[in-house]
Chains A and B, each alone.
Chain A
Amino acid sequence: MPIEPIVKVLFIFAVMVMGLAPIITWIERKQSAVMQDRIGANRADLGGVTLLGLFHPAADVIKLFTKEDVVPAGANRVMHLISPLIAAVPAIIAFAVIPYGGVYQFGDTTLNLVGADIDWGLLYIFAIGSIAAYGTVIAGWSSNNNWSMLGGLRASAQMISYEVTMGLTVVGIFMVFETLRLSDMALAQDTSFRLFGFLDLYFGLDGWLIDHVRLPAWGIFYQPLGFLMFLAAIMAENKRPPFDIPEGESEIIAGYHLEYSGMRFGLFFMSEFIEIIIIAALTATIFLGGWAVPWFSTDWIIGTLSPWMGVGFATALCILIHFSTFMLKVFFMIWVQMLLRWSLPRFRYDQVMSLCWKILLPLSIANIFVTGLVLLWVKG
């Protein structure tokens, strides 16, 4: 009975999906309230204790479960039923390849904190993301409603355009790290490089400053433009504001999820928030170093802690440190996405399309070209 994959699956479901997604609804409400200089939702209480509004996610879930489930007349019932599932399932199964920690040795057993350490992990996430486009398209079509159809068409065009750009923006990172396996990418970011090393390599200079000013070897320092473009493309893929043309609330009422109520709408809602976590985890793994602590590599941590508590406990503590670093970076990226959501106005539809095809696509190809030139120069 393979116990390890079952534990990993349960962990992903319980902690990342069911645990984090309600917390993110609370983060959205509180962060938008703080940014807009108001208090936010704080009325849901349990016996008089409001606890900063942390009961609101639970209240939301209860409300959505108890609402009446409406299927509009003339709608295709089967498609109307399955499209929330098609939207939600790819968002959940994308968690399988994210590394929550490195590879640790406990005597003779190795512990690899990835759900499925597949060799083409990044490609798997893009493949799954392209299936997620069907949820919105079928939801828009099956509701027998003009506004839903418009939202569904806009969503399909936006999502398949930004898939192309999303793939091209990470080719730069792929060239730098020479691997598509996400755990290897996080491992490659576990070191640090000298910021002024080029002075040593090409001009032969020497000094304390050149040797000791080090940056962590994170993807964002190798590919800053790639990071910005990837964040733009994957936020557009998620249909979050400022790219929320498909559910443009002031234009087409609620777009593709107009005719959904109760838990089916809850599933659409949850899938959007689960994708926020996926975006945060993916960006943290590829660009922000994943589980790696900046400037302190795994060997250094285990080496310094071992004399005090033995290798076994030191490795366990290292696992905790790495996982907390990863979650910290995930929360940072969630905060950044919420910041972008609540400060930028919505793009117009032609602006969204021209951003993808006229700006991001040529820029990402130029990024690949320049990265190739630099790699050729550096690696001889």
Chain B
Amino acid sequence: MTAEAILFYVFGALAVVSALGMVLNLRNTVASAMSLVVTMVSLGAIYLLLEAYLVAAIQIMVYGGAIVVLFLFVVMLLNLSTDEFPPGKQRLIKLAFVIAGVAILAQVLIALGQDPLLTAQPEAVPEGFGGYRQLGLSLYTDYVLLVEMASLLLLAAIVGALILAKRKID
């Protein structure tokens, strides 16, 4: 059991526990958002273990530092912090959903454990893998169109969010 594997299991367990904490928390929305932050940061740590360094930094900065702050902002502005919905009349359907979901997950996990590609050891990583130089080179030579499309998408999102959040369009 190398140190990497131990760290992966620790962060993986933390990610699963905080994801469950986010979904199962029935009273406090802010606590759900904080559990989501813990999930994001542990996933960032797992990306570091998988030698994707720039992606890990961007995950913590963008997901953990901006997107969930946006959630918290909306929750605090609208004072939505407590969840007081009465129990629904569809409990059986939800239970069926959960059982079906867990069954499918069990099937997927069994299939993953028998796959020869995944159970083999991954080969050593080449020099410069996952660093910002390689990603920057690739982004601006092979995938430059993706960068332009991403900027257009973000522009559309900014305009859309502005219009949706205005009180009246004058």
Complex Cα–Cα for A160 and B53 (A): 22
B95 to chain A, nearest CB (A): 29
Chain B residues close to A by CB (< 8 Å): 28, 30-31, 34, 37, 41, 44, 53-54, 57, 60-61, 64-66, 69, 72-73, 76-77, 81, 131-132
B2 to chain A, nearest CB (A): 15
* Sample of 14 further A-B pairs with CB below 8 A, known A123-B132, A126-B57, A160-B65: A79-B30, A119-B53, A120-B53, A129-B65, A130-B64, A131-B41, A131-B64, A134-B37, A137-B76, A141-B81, A149-B76, A153-B73, A156-B73, A160-B69
Within 8 A of B (CB), among A98-129: 118-120, 123-124, 126-129
Q: Is A133 an interface residue (CB 8 A)?
A: yes
Q: Which residue of A lies closest to B73 (CB)?
A: A156
Chain A residues close to B by CB (< 8 Å): 76, 78-79, 118-120, 123-124, 126-131, 133-134, 137-138, 140-142, 149, 152-153, 156-157, 160, 163, 180
Number of A-B contacts (CB under 8 A): 74
Assess whether A134 is in contact with B61, with CB atoms less than 8 Å apart. no
Interface secondary structure of B, over-half rule: helix
B64 to chain A, nearest CB (A): 6
B15 to chain A, nearest CB (A): 16
With A76-B28, A79-B34 known to touch, is A120 a contact of B65 (CB < 8 Å)? no
**13 pairs from A and B in contact (CB 8 Å cutoff):** A78-B31, A119-B131, A119-B132, A120-B57, A123-B54, A131-B37, A131-B60, A131-B65, A134-B37, A137-B76, A141-B81, A156-B69, A163-B65
Q: Which residue of B lies closest to A141 (CB)?
A: B76
Residues of A within 8 A of B54 (CB): 120, 123
Complex Cα–Cα for A130 and B58 (A): 11
